[in-house]
Amino acid sequence: MEASQEINLLIDTVRRFVETEMIPHEDEIDRLGHVPEEIGRTIEAKSKELGLYACNLPEEVGGGGLGYGPMSLIEREYGKTSHALQSWAARPTELLMACEGDQREQYLLPAVRGEKRELFALTEPDAGSDVMGMKSNARRDGDDWILNGSKHFVSGPCMPDFAIVFAATGEDETPRGPRKRITAFLVDVGASGFVCRQGTRCVSYRGYNTYELHFDNVRLSSEKVLGEEGHGLELAGKWLGMGRIWVGATCCGKAERILSMATDWAANRKQFGKPIGAFQATGFRLADGAINLRAADLMVKDAVSRAENGSMSDADAAMVKVFCSEMLNNIADDAVQIFGGMGLMEEMPIQRFWRDSRLERIWDGTSEIQRHIITRSILRPLGA
Ligand SMILES: Cc1cc2nc3c(=O)[nH]c(=O)nc-3n(C[C@H](O)[C@H](O)[C@H](O)COP(=O)(O)OP(=O)(O)OC[C@H]3O[C@@H](n4cnc5c(N)ncnc54)[C@H](O)[C@@H]3O)c2cc1C
Substitution candidate for ligand 1 out of 119, 122, 129 with most atoms within 8 A of CB: 129
Query: Which protein residue has the closest C-alpha to ligand 1 atom 7?
Result: 154
Which CA distances in Å does 174 have to 171, 177, 181, 233, 277? Answer: 9, 5, 11, 16, 59
Q: Is 32 exposed, middle or buried (0-12, 13-18, 19+ CB in 10 A)?
A: middle
As assigned by CATH, the class of the 3-91 domain is: mainly alpha
Ligand 1: lining residues by beta carbon, under 6 Å: 120-123, 128-129, 153-155, 202, 210, 359, 362-366, 368-369, 372
* 10, containing H or E segment: helix 3-17
CA 161/CA 207 separation, integer angstroms = 19
What number of CA atoms fall less than 13 Å from residue 139's CA on the CB side? 6
Question: How far away, in angstroms, is 20 Cα from ligand 1 center?
Answer: 33
Return the ligand 1 atom nearest residue 125 CA: 26
Return the ligand 1 atom nearest residue 119 CA: 8
Q: Is 269 exposed, middle or buried (0-12, 13-18, 19+ CB in 10 A)?
A: middle
Question: How far away, in angstroms, is 184 Cα from ligand 1 center?
Answer: 19
Ranges of CATH 1.20.140.10 domains, the chain: 235-382
Query: Which protein residue has the closest C-alpha to ligand 1 atom 23?
Result: 128
Question: Among positive and negative, which fits the CA dihedral 171, 191, 125, 364?
Answer: positive
What's the confidence (pLDDT) of residue 176? Answer: 85
Ranges of CATH 1.10.540.10 domains, the chain: 3-91
Question: How far away, in angstroms, is 370 Cα from ligand 1 center?
Answer: 11
Return the ligand 1 atom nearest residue 366 CA: 47
Question: How far away, in angstroms, is 154 Cα from ligand 1 center?
Answer: 11
Structure letter (DSSP) for residue 200: P
Q: List alpha helices for 269-349, DSSP H.
A: 280-308, 314-339
Return the ligand 1 atom nearest residue 151 CA: 11
Question: How far away, in angstroms, is 231 Cα from ligand 1 center?
Answer: 22
For the chain, first and last CA: distance in Å? 53
Return the ligand 1 atom nearest residue 130 CA: 29
Which CA distances in Å does 12 have to 5, 18, 44? Answer: 10, 10, 18
Substitution candidate for ligand 1 out of 118, 119, 122, 123 with most atoms within 8 A of CB: 123
What's the confidence (pLDDT) of residue 376? Answer: 97
Beta-bridged to residue 147, according to DSSP, are: 138, 218
Substitution candidate for ligand 1 out of 119, 366, 372, 375 with most atoms within 8 A of CB: 366
Which overall architecture, per CATH, does domain 235-382 show?
A: Up-down Bundle (1.20)
> Is this model's pTM higher than 0.95 or not?
yes
Ranges of CATH 2.40.110.10 domains, the chain: 116-230
Query: Which protein residue has the closest C-alpha to ligand 1 atom 50?
Result: 153
Question: How far away, in angstroms, is 363 Cα from ligand 1 center?
Answer: 6
116-230: CATH topology? Butyryl-CoA Dehydrogenase, subunit A; domain 2 (2.40.110)
What's the confidence (pLDDT) of residue 192? Answer: 98
> Among 314, 323, 318, which Cα is nearest to 369's?
318
What's the confidence (pLDDT) of residue 53? Answer: 98
Beta-bridged to residue 188, according to DSSP, are: 162
Query: Which protein residue has the closest C-alpha to ligand 1 atom 19?
Result: 363
Question: How far away, in angstroms, is 147 Cα from ligand 1 center?
Answer: 23
Say whether 283 sits in a helix, a strand or coil. Answer: helix
What's the confidence (pLDDT) of residue 2? Answer: 76
List, for the chain, all residue ranges whose pLDDT scores fall below the cut of 70.
1
Q: Is 43 exposed, middle or buried (0-12, 13-18, 19+ CB in 10 A)?
A: buried
Question: How far away, in angstroms, is 215 Cα from ligand 1 center?
Answer: 21
Return the ligand 1 atom nearest residue 129 CA: 29
Question: How far away, in angstroms, is 279 Cα from ligand 1 center?
Answer: 39
